Amino acid sequence: MGACDGRIALVTGSSRGLGKAIAQRLAAEGATVALTARTMDPDPKYDGSLAQTRDEILAGGGHAIAVQADLSSSEDRERLFAEVVESVGAPDILVNNAAVTFLRPLDGFPEKRVRLMLEMHLVGPLHLCQLAIPAMRERGRGWILNLTSVGGDLPDGPPFSEFDREAGFGIYGTAKAGLNRLTKSLAAELYDDGIAVNAAAPSDPVATPGAGTLDLAKTKTEDIALITETAFRLCTGDPATSTGLIVKTQPFLREVGWLGD
C-alpha cells in the first residue's frame, strides 16, 4: 500500500528531468499518473519522451497514461485535461513542472519569448489549476505543487554579484517570483476547500537535460532524489497544515528530518 493508492496525479513536463522523476515517484507510491509534454515518441534530438516515461512506469508495475500536449496553448491544455479525465478520472494531484527558459539581458529580450515564458510559467499553471479545482473541491481534498526556482528570489545588492549582472535571469526570475505569489494566493483561496497548494525549488541546480543545455549544473549540483522526496511530501501532506509553502529542498528536508545537517 502506497501513500498515493487510489489517487490520480497529472504531472506536466514529464518526458524527462524533474517531471519524469516526480511522476515515477508518485507512481511508485500507488498513484495513477497522467504524463504530459510535447515529446511523445523517442527522438534523437531529445533526451527522453512521454512514451519512455510511461513504459518505464508500466514495467515497474505502476499505472500511467501519456497525453502529448503543447502546454503553451490554452486549447491544448483543455484537450489534455479532458483526455485525462476521460481516461483515468480527474486528478487528485496536479504537478505544474513544464517550463521553457531563455536567458539573455532584458534590454534585448524578444517580446515573443517573454510571452511564451509567462504563458508556460504562470498562465498555463493557473489554467490547469482552474481545470482541476472543481473536482478537488467536490472531493474535499486535493494537492497542487508548482515547481519554482531560487531564481525567483530577489537579487542581493547593490552591489550586485557578477552572476546577477551577467546571467540574464530577469524574465525567468520574474516568472518564478510570480508563480510563488500565485501559489500563496491559491493556497489562501482554497484553504477552506481542503486543497493544498505549494511550491518547491531545488536548493542547487539539478543535472537534468534542461539544466545542461543552459549550463546551469556545471559546478555545484543537487541529487534529484531531494526534489522527488520534497514533491512526494508536499503532494501527500495534510492540507490543513502543509499549504502555502514556498520551499527549497534542502532546508525543507532538514526541517522534516529526512536530510541530516
159-185 burial, b if ≥16 CB within 10 A, otherwise e?
Answer: eeeeebeebbbbbbbbbbbbbbebbbe
Residue 1 domain flag: no
- Residue 71 phi/psi, 5° resolution? -75, 0
pLDDT per residue over 201-215, tens digit each?
999 887 655 544 444
Lowest mean pLDDT among 2-11, 151-160, 214-223: 214-223
- Number of domains the chain contains: 1
Query: Can you tell me the mean pLDDT for 70-77?
Result: 98
Peptide bond connecting 202 to the previous residue in cis, omega within 30 degrees of 0: no
Is residue 41 within 8 Å of residue 66, measured between CB atoms?
no
Active site residues: 172
Query: Can you tell me the mean pLDDT for 149-168?
Result: 93
Range of the domain at 27: 8-255
Residue 258 CA to residue 216 CA, distance in Å, equals 26
Residue 148 CA to residue 200 CA, distance in Å, equals 6
pLDDT per residue over 96-149, tens digit each?
999 999 999 999 999 999 999 999 999 999 999 999 999 999 999 999 999 999
Share of the chain above pLDDT 90, in %: 86
Residue 261 domain flag: no
Q: In what order do the strands lie in the sheet with 246-248?
A: 63-68, 32-37, 8-12, 93-96, 142-147, 195-201, 246-248
pLDDT at 219 over 50: no
Residue 50 domain flag: yes
Query: Can you tell me the mean pLDDT for 226-250?
Result: 97
pLDDT grade for 221, boundaries at 50, 70 and 90: low
Residue 71 domain flag: yes
Residue 2 domain flag: no
Predicted local distance difference test score (pLDDT) of residue 198 = 98
Residue 121 domain flag: yes
User: 18: closest CA among 247, 207, 214, 213?
Assistant: 207
Residue 203 domain flag: yes
Query: Can you tell me the mean pLDDT for 37-47?
Result: 84
Residue 3 domain flag: no
pLDDT at 220 over 60: no
Predicted local distance difference test score (pLDDT) of residue 138 = 98
Look up the CATH number of the domain holding residue 77: 3.40.50.720
